[in-house]
Chains A and B, each alone.
Chain A
């Protein structure tokens, strides 16, 4: 009963914070400046890790399918086809966002948590600035803008990773190309984009909530950072089930 009450209180506080966040910024020029900064910090700085992980996962998926599923009864393009579908539908859109929840979520929560305990957020409130709107809105919109780009890069990087296995002799470039092109449904790409936008909102808003509402000192900032990652990850997994059911 106590846990239920606590959970409902948390949800209520989250909704209230989002109410304050999702309003028109006090100064648009300040908002744009922060928006671009957040896209750079949260998105551009994540490109490296997205490319590396996707490249190797693409290569490994390709190898696993070739070695464990491919049989003489199946067309040779199955490896490329399956790799593309896995990357497009699940890995790049969902698993990559789970990985980014760790990197971006902890970054957001610890930044806002530190601002809270060092009274920087109080300083904004005293000035008459809507601190939630000024600090959180650019993070949410920045990540929602950049996440589809990261997911697209992840898909391409995974495909390049799959191509790289051809140098090991397990498959050929032409077989993979045929598979990548076979029966392509553009809607699957848009499914990935929709998922990316929803997950970006979950990661940025939940992590911001956890950081913004910190009370205490550095230990609590650490705890909020961990909570942000765990809660975002669980919510992404739940959302994945519903979105997959709805979209495909």
Chain B
């Protein structure tokens, strides 16, 4: 479980995050949603420690991350896996080498065992056969899958995904979403996904935090989101024609049943 408590973040005079409070639960796919520029990437970067909060606390299973020493932060980070927006695979390494990298760095297993584990992870994300390809030789969706394999190689307790579907077609996006959701349930880990993709919200959002202008405007589940009366949230989710029509149809249906 990850808990964010009274988190503020400013860049010089500009306040980007204002008093964020949220709990991201274990074994669930927790989504941070919001418009571009709303502060969700800054929030995620604060949670993983790439940025330091101006004030507030971040608790990993009740351990205050901000109060940890540099050494302890590094040790905690070894329990984290992250999928970046750009996949961030190492250019000079093959898919197999990328997935083996964290194992080579931190595992004391033999080479054969490390390679076996890396191949297992590659198989889990359905990338078998692409082990010896360089990131530049595979598609964007395959790069994301390879990055997920790398992120889960060390059996993390926490998985973070920053805009996992950006730049992907809808079909591939669903594959990536299902993969993230499946891994979260299988490994019983705390997953936080940063997204503005409504398909992801409806498909895998066990717990959703809506960020608007740096504030946690709404929190709930994908079941609650369609019936919320929060205007800013409704403006965001029903910006899409398809969802608006879906909502109108659903409301009409409900009205008929009522009569």
A122, B78: Cβ atoms closer than 8 Å: no
* A123-B82 CB under 8 A given contacts A118-B88, A128-B74, A128-B75: yes
A119, B77: Cβ atoms closer than 8 Å: no
Task: Bin chain A's interface residue count.
Answer: 10 to 19
Provide the B99-116 mask, 1 if CB < 8 A to any CB of A, else 0.
001101110000000000
Residue of B nearest to A37 (CB): B92
A106-122 interface with B by 8 A CB criterion? 114-115, 118-120, 122
Partner of A120, one of B80, B90, B102: B90
Least CB distance from A131 to B in Å reads 11
* B186 CB–A CB distance under 8 Å: no
Least CB distance from A58 to B in Å reads 36
Least CB distance from A122 to B in Å reads 6
Partner of B102, one of A119, A127, A130: A127
Contact partners of A115 in chain B: CB under 8 A: 91
B103-136 interface with A by 8 A CB criterion? 104-106
Residue of B nearest to A117 (CB): B86
* A114 to B135 Cα, complex, angstroms: 15
Least CB distance from A162 to B in Å reads 40
* A30-B88 CB under 8 A given contacts A123-B82, A126-B77: no
Partner of A27, one of B82, B91, B104: B104
User: Which of B's residues lie within 8 Å of A, judged by CB?
Assistant: 48-50, 74-78, 80-82, 84-86, 88-91, 101-102, 104-106, 160
Least CB distance from A139 to B in Å reads 14
Least CB distance from A144 to B in Å reads 22
Contact partners of B90 in chain A: CB under 8 A: 120, 123
B105, A129: Cβ atoms closer than 8 Å: yes
A122, B84: Cβ atoms closer than 8 Å: yes
* A119-B48 CB under 8 A given contacts A128-B74, A128-B75, A129-B105: no
What are 7 pairs between A and B in contact, CB < 8 Å?
A: A27-B106, A118-B88, A120-B89, A123-B88, A126-B50, A127-B78, A128-B75
* A215 CB–B CB distance under 8 Å: no
